[in-house]
Structure 1
Amino acid sequence: MPERGAWKECKNVLCVRLDNLGDVLMTSPAIRAIRETNQDCKITLLASRAGAAIAPYISEIDEVLTFDPPWAKNKSKQSGEAVMNIVEKLKQHAFDGAVIFTVYSQNPLPAAMLCYMAGILRVAGYCRENPYHLITDWLPDAEPLYRIQHEVDRQLQLVDSLGFFTHNQHLILRTEEAAAFQVQQKLQAKGVDTGRPWLILHPGVSEVKRQYPPQYFAEVAQRLTQEQGYQVMLTGVHAERELAERIRQQAGNKAFNLCGELSLEELINLISQSPVLISNNTGPVHIAAATNTPVVVLYALTNPQHTPWKVRHKVLPFDVPAEVQSRNTIISFANERAFKQAAGRPGPEQVLDAVNTLLRPPETEELGEVAVGEEQTLIRL
């Protein structure tokens, strides 16, 4: 088991999180726990390029090293030389401790081997099997065989086992004031009347299996503009511009396609100004949690532990077609336990009902109408 006291002596800590932007953001309370418990230590994040993008807006991170590992899903074609290069970088930093953050379906041992080769003598992480010398402070992974918990809770529990603690478990992002001015300029240049109500619809997602039907999103956008008078900001990366354009055309002239036109900092600021975000289960959902923006999430039943954290939200689950479900046996096992009944697919009317619920002041909500925070996951054991 981990040695709690020894970690407080570490002055140069590496945090390893090699998946996506939302995963890094959900790990930030755990990183904050390290910072608040050991205020004198330097914290470096080792992240994929996708995950590293959010790091400049997380105040607890001092430095970022970027690496797209060959054992994780990404668009890079890494060579053995690239692996040896990152090992050399880790050696040069002379870390005295490394904490490996993973979801329960990921194997920590490749990352642990990087740390071992770099000479990092103290390494902590979850692992299902005995890692022996690769992970010196091993926390046996009970997920999902015996329980499933929210991703933020999972990482807080890991650092708690090392003696790190924080009272502030919220997701938090910092941006410069100039970003708000830049957002206003871009909205006005697009023809948005910033003095009238608007909200955000984020229709894209990185995996097809997590995509809510675009035609349903289009109907939601159309009814928001035509029946409720909202302007709808369609956000996403440049590759999602065509998808957003189809939705914009159906929604009419009160919908605006911003895909590929905002920096990440500007997107964070835009979300912080919106009264509600409508989105697939993807990175902006966790940005909304970090900016305290209410969120309606169209939640494909892929992972039960990634619901919005400590923010007003409505989760509308839908089933993943069998032909695109994960081949990862741990994910299959977890989903068979967590999702015992088919969810079907929520229609536009249900999405609009959820939006309108969140648009109402919190004091008008009935008990249990809106979930806030870590108490709701999609676990139905």
Structure 2
Amino acid sequence: MNILIIGPSWVGDMMMSHSLYQTLKEQYPNCHIDVLAPNWCKPLLARMPEVRNALTMPIGHGAFNLTERYRIGKSLRNQYDMAIVLPNSLKSAFIPLFAKIPLRRGWKGESRYFFLNDLRNNKKDYPMMVQRYVALGYEKAAIPTAEKLAIPTPYLQVEQSAVEKTKEKFTALFAPIENRPAIGFCPGAEFGPAKRWPHYHYAKLAAMLIEAGYGIYLLGSQKDQEAGEQIRTTLDNSQQVYCLNLCGKTNLNEAVDLIADCVGVVSNDSGLMHIAAALNKPLIACYGPTSPQYTPPLSDKAVVLRTIEGGLIKIRKGEADGGYHQSLIDLAPEKVFAKLTALLENL
């Protein structure tokens, strides 16, 4: 059986989708899985052995472009027995229809009745996103309840030789911390400062860890470079050399390698948090207005810290200076340090 997955557009969602691919291999042992997703996903998909091919989705997130969707669908005809559509949008269901894939599976959403012929309509029975992904790996009549649904843990394959090659790219920068175990900080968040633990808390934690003999990798995209620099420059001059701002200096593949090189990670609720969990790193996940019940890090080495209760709070910018959310301001660096060191002691 050949299966086409219409993949998600975000790093964290892509990591959680790996649980589905593992489930499909259990349900259909001889299946071949191809994933249609944005080009940036390829480094992650290449590290998932269940995926045969990563197909480039050239249409940007949010763009409709029906003509291009028809062209892509037509090019995929007579290749697949089943398609699974992970996004909830109507437009995401066009390509499997245009590809004339016989079985088209997904959750009810945005009037997709005509487009999906294996439509699931009990999404609320599965409160976690990863549960909703995994449930699509089962035949409709055989889906376990949420309580009995087995969730395979996402993971990424890492070659130590690749890690060393990535580190060689930054040889001069890494020299001061060559003999220090590294802690990764992931200070960015896709939807702005309300999801970010404040830079001054990261800096205070960095100072405590540097004093304890660690080095710090600040990891993220180009748009996280400023946040990383705020953390680094808040440190004393004598400590800044042990805190490396790598935000925007690595591609996603290199970021995975450097997280793999860390002995522990502290992160906001972000895509890199899910990557750290998939690499089985001791992880402190700092949550504010987003919901750890819906998209938690999927690792038994992860500790979620949150100072408020309840589900998702829809907010893009907090009311405090810097746009931070008060719940994340209230999460003291001393508490994070204590939880992280406790995790590291159990290694």
Corresponding residue to 2:281 among 279, 293, 296: 293
Contact persistence 1:318–1:344 (CA under 8 A): no
Q: Give the structure 1 partner of residue 302 of structure 2.
A: 313
- Deviation digits for residues 221-255 of structure 1 (CA, Å, limit 9, x no counterpart): 22322x32321111112332232122112232211
**Corresponding residue number in structure 2 for 1:90:** 76
Asked if 2 retains the 8 angstrom alpha-carbon contact of 1:222 and 1:250, the reply is no
Provide TM-score, normalisation by structure 1. Answer: 0.75
User: In the alignment, is residue 141 of structure 1 matched against residue 119 of structure 2?
Assistant: no
Deviation of 1:261 (Å): 2.8
Quote how far apart the aligned CAs of 1:16 are.
1.3
Alpha-carbon distance in 2 for matches of 1:361, 1:245: 31
* Deviations, residues 84-142 of structure 1 (Å, cap 9, x unaligned): 33223333x6322101124xxx33x3222332222112111111587433221122133
C-alpha distance in structure 2 between counterparts of 1:123 and 1:13, whole Å:
10
2:94 maps to: 113
Identify if the C-alpha distance between structure 1 residues 131 and 193 changes in structure 2 by more than 3 Å, giving closer, same or farther: closer
Q: Secondary structure at the match of 1:62?
A: strand
Give distance in 2, aligned partners of 1:277 and 1:117: 43
Whether contact under 8 Å (2:274, 2:298) holds in the other structure is yes
Deviations 1:289-312 (A, max 9, x none): 211101111113224311111331
Deviations 1:55-74, CA, capped at 9 Å, x for gaps: 1111111112222656x45x
Give the equivalent residue in structure 1 for 2:195.
210
Matches within 5 A, 1:252-291: 252-291=240-279
Letter of the 2:228 partner, please give it: A
- Pairwise CA distance, 1:53: 4.1
Structure 1 contact 18–69 (Cα < 8 Å) conserved: no
- The alpha-carbon deviation at position 324 of structure 1 amounts to 2.5
Tell me if 1:21 matches 2:21. Answer: no
Q: Return the alpha-carbon distance in structure 1 between the equivalents of residues 283 and 303 of structure 2.
A: 7
Aligned to 2:321: none
| Alpha-carbon separation, structure 2, partners of 1:142 and 1:31 | 19
3-state DSSP of counterpart to 1:272:
helix
1:323–1:183 distance in 2 versus 1, CA, 3 Å: closer
Q: 1:101 to 1:318 in 2, by over 3 A?
A: farther
CA contact (8 A) 2:182 2:264 kept: no
Q: Secondary structure at the match of 2:303?
A: strand
Q: How does 1:220-369 map to 2 (within 5 A)?
A: 220-225=205-210, 227-251=211-235, 252-303=240-291, 304-317=293-306, 324=316, 345-361=330-346
Counterparts in 2 of 1:22 and 1:192: CA distance versus 1, 3 Å: farther
Aligned length: 323
Secondary structure at the counterpart of residue 57 of structure 1: coil
| Mean CA deviation greater in 283-292 or 257-266 | 257-266
> Which of 37, 41, 49 in structure 2 is aligned with 1:59?
49
Partner of 2:39: 49
- Secondary structure of the residue aligned to 1:245 is helix
Q: Percent identity?
A: 24
Alpha-carbon RMSD:
2.9
**Bigger shift: residues 109-118 or 119-128:** 109-118
CA distance in 1 between counterparts of 2:115 and 2:92 reads 9
Alignment partner of 1:54: what SS? helix
Query: 1:373 is matched with which residue?
Result: none
Aligned partners of 1:179 and 1:265 also within 8 Å: no
Query: C-alpha distance in 1, partners of 2:67/2:249?
Result: 35
Distance 1:160 1:192, change over 3 A: farther
- Name the CA shift for 1:196/1:311 in 2 (closer, same or farther; >3 Å): same
Distance 1:138 1:343 in 2: 39
Instruction: Give the alignment's TM-score, normalised by structure 2.
Output: 0.82
| Offset of residue 213 of structure 1 | 1.8
Asked if the contact 1:37/1:164 (under 8 Å) is kept, the reply is no
Tell me, yes or no, if the aligned pair for 2:200 and 2:234 is still in contact at 8 Å: no
